[in-house]
Structure 1
Amino acid sequence: MNVYPTRRAVVLMALGAPLALAVAVAAPGLWIAAAAWIVLTVGLMVADVVLAPPPRRLALRADLPATMGAGRSGSARVRLAFEGAAPRRVELAVGEDERLAVSPRRQDVTLSAGRAEAELTLSPRRRGRGRLEGLWARWRGPLGLVWLQRHETPEQAIAVTPDVEGVKQQALQLFARNAPIGSKVLRESGEGSDFHALKEFQTGMDLGDVDWKSSARRQKLVGREYRTERNHHVVLAIDTGRLMSSPAAGLPRLDRAINAALLLAFVSLKMGDRAGLFAFDSRPRLASGMASGPQAFPLLQKLAAGLDYTTEETNFTLGLTALSGGLDRRAMVVVFTDFVDSTSAELMIENLSRLMRTHLVLFVVFRDEELERLAEAEPNVVEDMSRAVIADGLLRQREAVVTRLRRLGAQIVDAPAEGLGPALLNAYLDVKRRGLV
């Protein structure tokens, strides 16, 4: 039983000190009578414990979800049930670990007929197995002199996985909006576009699509109609190195990358392309090979969930060379990585330029909103000015790296962390429209 005094009991005990001192000064022979106040206070506290509902009569249980997606909040319930007499109010506290944030961590719960339920909001911080480190419920005795407390540690762990539910919702919304791509013919043509049929020339069609020979035979203008090619190879290359463990809008960059990669994989598989997953840091960690059809998505989901956080530096030479060696035809390679400055990015640029000789590279830039805020903040002291100058310098270096990659032929996806998935999907759809693969 966990019992300790309330503030009221401490104040009551303290009030006896001046009385004891006065008795000791006025009648030293009666000093022992001053201790009666302490005995009385302790007796009242013991009576409060006896009259209060004991902790053993409280059943304290948490109803937790089995799985949660990283970055997607969910709810949980804590149930309290007293056997027999019960207090009117209970204070509830919840402990959190490094993978789960709990809100509210403390709350007052009003009981009705000895029972109550408390709502909690769980917000996953990182993938893995998250737990509630403890549940604490405490209540006062009827005299308000003691706290009685019950502590339980939930055994159930919550599996924090990539946010597949959010990925599917985003994919279905965006895919429905762009459903004509791949299922209906398009007027856009370009390298790699798939010829579909001839049709009478209409206003708005590109003059380059006019089939002059067929027009001469039919004695009217006839244009070529194209549709987007299918069966492209889409490789999702994810850097799992040290820098990708740093947070972006409350989630590690690695989790942001995985969610965006799964969104693109879901849509590309739906549209008839083949998708594969590749992960690397100091060495290659995962190479799934190419998969086709929507039924392959759970496999990619499972493989992505197994990508762990590391503290190792990324070896772009080894990783991207291994990636290039495993591709037997031209592919769209989506690279999720991060860099600190232009100097540390030199090896990355060099190896990406080799990859771009054969393949189309979509380079995903994690926009550093924290640096942007520091650079744009109004300086109030000298330190603010120093931070703004350093942040502006780092942003300029990042922009220089992105500009170099763009000039080398990479397609750049630059978006805030929370809007990374839709921005990547729009870039993928644009590539298909333009027939760049």
Structure 2
Amino acid sequence: MIYPSGRAAVLAAASAVPAIAVAVLVPAYWYAGLAVVLLVLALTLADALGTPGARSLTATLDAPAAVFVGQDVALGIAARVGSGRRFEVAIEHDARLAPTDSARGPVDASGKMTFTAVRRGAAVVDALWLRWPGLFGLVWRQKRVELDRSIAVLPDVRPARTEALRLFRRDASFGELVQIDTGAGGEFQALAEFRQGMDRRAIDWKASARHSGLIAKEYRTERNNDIVFAVDAGRLMCEPVDGIPRIDRAISAALTAAFVALKLGDKVSLFGFDARPRISTGSVSGVASFATFQGLAAELDYSNEETNFTLALTTLGSQLKRRSLVLVFTDFADPTSAELMLKTVGRLAERHLVLFVLMEDVELQAMADTAPEHSADVSRAVIAASMLRERKIVVARLQRLGVHIVEAHHDRIGSELVNAYLGLKRRNLL
């Protein structure tokens, strides 16, 4: 495609001035004024004919095969037509990539554009749009180069490889040595002489009477527990927080905890739901299965439907055949949906250990804390404070049902979840 540039339009407009002047001042020679206009047209035509055509254009795009959600992606562009040409380039892409700088920019023979992967899935780069000027800058030639390249945007596993490993090393001895903690999930190991530092509740008084000395029970930490990651994929969880959807931050935290759980010998499974159950996987065990679990988590798609907690958690409860730790990643905004959720969670908590993972609502908190300047700010702050108060009421009711709560900033949710999981294992609550 060839079309005139802004410079050609300005020259054409400017050439009309002498043409009109000649027509007014010397009407008999009005046609002489057209010479300037024709000169501009001739220069434009010559520029169009002298500009290298699209057949001599070579353009390639250098892009990574896969990136993590929230990670910056540098797309390298290499284009050449003739010699010493400069280009203006636009990349045609889908909504999973957001430009961090201008979508158009002049590049020489090569250049880079940086995008941010904001959503999971296959980010498609459809085409490159390139245009280059003529020798006089009076015309543009434009070409669309089909690419159909795909970049896999995966759940972020970097916390699992850094933060999880750090937390795991800190508690590496846990689960490998005999523990003396008592609890519903403790497995009896042996009787031993009571030593200072042991839990006094572990004393076996009958055995102590027979041996004329204090004898205590030693317990071995149970392994091979079932850990279920129930991830809400409904409308509210797909809203962004700090530029990244809540569900992506939840999946990243789930992968961090799953890596530690697999390291400690537990079995993990994934359950995704919105208005109805979407994904229900079998259990996997062993660190080698982490890649499988990551792939299953990447398949959990976004949804604009409201979450049906009753159907989802009832279905999950019917699928669990033994006592499990159920980690529910969700959020709630209105008391009606929370009320329905509480009834179902209460039944689930009767048989299983339930842990709710919530992210602090930084937007509501900011609205409630901002000093008002106008009457609308006062109304906004009052409504935000009311919603935060209702949220705290729901959290308190969940705790009264025996549900454990992890509520933290979205940047710390993964480490807080791992700490809570290790704490539950230490107390042998499973």
Does TM, normalized by the shorter one, top 0.5?
yes
Determine the C-alpha separation between the residues in 1 that align with 2:300 and 2:163.
22
SS at match of 1:338: coil
Residues 173/3 of structure 1: CA separation in 2 closer, same or farther (3 Å cut): farther
Look up the match of 1:151. 144
Structure 2 residue corresponding to 1:429, chosen from 418, 422, 426: 422
Structure 1 residue corresponding to 2:390, chosen from 387, 397, 419: 397
Look up the match of 1:99. 96
Question: Residue 344 of structure 1: CA displacement?
Answer: 2.1
SS at match of 1:343: helix
Structure 1 residue corresponding to 2:377, chosen from 384, 398, 407: 384
**What amino acid is the match of 2:14?**
L
Look up the match of 1:9. 8
Look up the match of 1:68. 67
**What amino acid is the match of 2:5?**
T
Name the % identity: 47
Q: Is the 8 A contact 2:330 2:357 kept in 1?
A: yes
Determine the C-alpha separation between the residues in 2 that align with 1:177 and 1:38.
80
**Matched pairs, number:** 429
SS at match of 1:131: strand
Q: Which residues of 2 match residues 118-129 of structure 1 at below 5 A?
A: 118-129=111-122
* Uncovered stretches (5+) of structure 2, i.e. residues with no partner: none
Residues 339/34 of structure 1: CA separation in 2 closer, same or farther (3 Å cut): same
Determine the C-alpha separation between the residues in 1 that align with 2:384 and 2:72.
31
Structure 1 length-normalised TM: 0.88
**What amino acid is the match of 2:106?**
D
Look up the match of 1:410. 403
Q: Is the 8 A contact 2:63 2:151 kept in 1?
A: yes
SS at match of 1:155: strand
Look up the match of 1:79. 78
* Uncovered stretches (5+) of structure 1, i.e. residues with no partner: none
Q: Is the 8 A contact 1:270 1:294 kept in 2?
A: yes
Determine the C-alpha separation between the residues in 1 that align with 2:179 and 2:58.
64
Residues 146/204 of structure 1: CA separation in 2 closer, same or farther (3 Å cut): farther
Question: Residue 433 of structure 1: CA displacement?
Answer: 1.4
Question: Residue 94 of structure 1: CA displacement?
Answer: 2.1
Q: Is the 8 A contact 1:96 1:102 kept in 2?
A: no
Look up the match of 1:109. 107
Are residues 1:316 and 2:309 paired?
yes
- Deviation digits for residues 226-260 of structure 1 (CA, Å, limit 9, x no counterpart): 55321111111122223222222222222222222
SS at match of 1:427: helix
Determine the C-alpha separation between the residues in 2 that align with 1:366 and 1:31.
77
Structure 2 residue corresponding to 1:136, chosen from 129, 132, 136: 129
Q: Is the 8 A contact 1:342 1:400 kept in 2?
A: no
Question: Residue 5 of structure 1: CA displacement?
Answer: 2.7
Residues 197/46 of structure 1: CA separation in 2 closer, same or farther (3 Å cut): farther
**What amino acid is the match of 1:101?**
A
Question: Residue 224 of structure 1: CA displacement?
Answer: 5.5
Question: Residue 80 of structure 1: CA displacement?
Answer: 1.7
Q: Is the 8 A contact 1:94 1:102 kept in 2?
A: no
Question: Residue 400 of structure 1: CA displacement?
Answer: 1.0
SS at match of 2:335: coil
Q: Is the 8 A contact 1:72 1:166 kept in 2?
A: no
Q: Which residues of 2 match residues 33-432 of structure 1 at below 5 A?
A: 33-82=32-81, 84-87=82-85, 89-104=86-101, 105-110=103-108, 115-116=109-110, 118-186=111-179, 188-195=181-188, 204-209=197-202, 226-432=219-425
Determine the C-alpha separation between the residues in 2 that align with 1:329 and 1:272.
17
Look up the match of 2:27. 28
**What amino acid is the match of 1:386?**
S
Structure 2 length-normalised TM: 0.90
**What amino acid is the match of 1:86?**
G
Determine the C-alpha separation between the residues in 1 that align with 2:235 and 2:146.
33
- Deviation digits for residues 182-237 of structure 1 (CA, Å, limit 9, x no counterpart): 22445644332345567776665544456678888999877665553211111111
Q: Is the 8 A contact 2:155 2:251 kept in 1?
A: yes
SS at match of 2:149: coil
Q: Say what the alpha-carbon RMSD is for the aligned residues.
A: 2.7
332-341 or 174-183, which moves further after superposition? 174-183
Residues 85/302 of structure 1: CA separation in 2 closer, same or farther (3 Å cut): closer
Q: Is the 8 A contact 1:53 1:85 kept in 2?
A: no
